[in-house]
Amino acid sequence: MASATENIMPGETGPLAEANEVAGENAGTLRIALAQTNPRLGVQAENLQDHLTKVESARDQGADLIIFPELSLTGYFLRDMVPDVAIARDAEAIEQLAAAGKTTSVVAGFVEESAEHRFYNAAFYSENGRVHHVHRKVYLPTYGLFDESRYFASGDRIRAFDTERFGRVGLLICEDFWHLSAAAIMQAEQVDMLICVANSPTRGVSGDQIETAETYWRLCRSYAQLIGCLVVMVNRVGYEDGLCFWGGSIAVGPDGKTKGEGPLLDESLTMVSVDPADLRRERLATPLGRDEQLLLTIEELDRIKRERYQS
């Protein structure tokens, strides 16, 4: 996708924003704000105010969408604080954040409490001031330094949704992105944009390379090309429970090329301009989605299901 990128902290302006104001933005171009935040653990009111400030800044810069990381309203290592910060998807804080976006869509992470008082690691997508879709994290890492299954219930569906400006969109949360099944579902859903919000800590450092960052970037490029869509991954920064979160948010076009990226380790608001027309060009050149044999896949998975679970 034809693009340009700038890192702008809330309240600042940049040369790209000024140039667009003078020259006029191409009618087909969309602007996405990647919000690398450093939330305070369990301090939801303060985190909400930070979100509102960044949404206003992104909106002033002409963003069509602003994306915050996983659990951006609460921080990650909540443990026994989960019930204290859990809110319903129609809570005032969610509605306030969605409304603040106005014509700017918003993706943000929160702890959702269901009517049955189950707690989910969730993220919402809002459009035109109202919540349009909520995804509950399906794959809860419970290994190494992760202990999510102890505090959260698992989501039970992976579904795309339609939007006004971005076409069909898929939303995944961190560990979901590491499972090929989730990517395969997103391809079958024929998404135009795949969003992953993450809280990925630094693991494995070799020289100036962060291995977890390199893996995420490879996944983004691979999924973008295999699905034939725009892939956007937004990761948090800062320190929590002794762990360092690396940031490094990225937007990748359907050709697998990077269209914009946030800095490593620093809080930032990165503006990325993308051209949806690139989807058509790439799908004409490499029609993987068109040629995918979905019924064959379903039949083979059904066979595996019978052999593995019903024999």
- Radius of gyration of the chain measured on its C-alpha atoms: 19
pLDDT of residue 204: 82
Reduced to 3 states, what is the DSSP secondary structure of residue 82? Answer: helix
**What residues contact residue 174 under an 8 Å CB cut-off, 6+ apart?**
70, 137, 141, 196, 197, 198, 199, 200
| Token code pair at residue 267 | 């809080």
Q: What is the pLDDT of residue 6?
A: 55
Is the pLDDT at 12 greater than 90, yes or no? Answer: no
Q: What confidence tier does 5 reach under pLDDT thresholds 50, 70, 90?
A: low
pLDDT digits (tens, 9 = 90+) for 83-101: 999 999 999 999 999 999 9
Pairing of strands 105-113, 30-36: unpaired
Work out the average pLDDT over 99-123: 98
Residue type, 60: D
Span 120-131, pLDDT tens digits:
999 999 999 999
What is the C-alpha to C-alpha distance for residues 153 and 198, in angstroms, rounded to an integer?
18
Q: How far apart are CA 223 and CA 212, in angstroms?
A: 16
- Of the given ranges (10-24, 202-216, 296-310), which has the lowest mean pLDDT? 10-24
Q: Is the pLDDT of residue 258 over 80?
A: yes
Q: Which of 142, 128, 138 is nearest to 177 (CA)?
A: 138
Give the C-alpha separation, 253 to 231, whole Å. 7
Could you tell me the CA-to-CA distances from 135 to 28, 82, 162 in Å, in that order? Answer: 28, 18, 14
| pLDDT reported for residue 7 | 57
Q: In the 8-state DSSP scheme, what is residue 155?
A: P
Q: What is the pTM of this model?
A: 0.91
pLDDT tier, 16 (very low <50, low <70, confident <90, very high otherwise)? very low
The stretch 66-80 carries a mean pLDDT of: 98
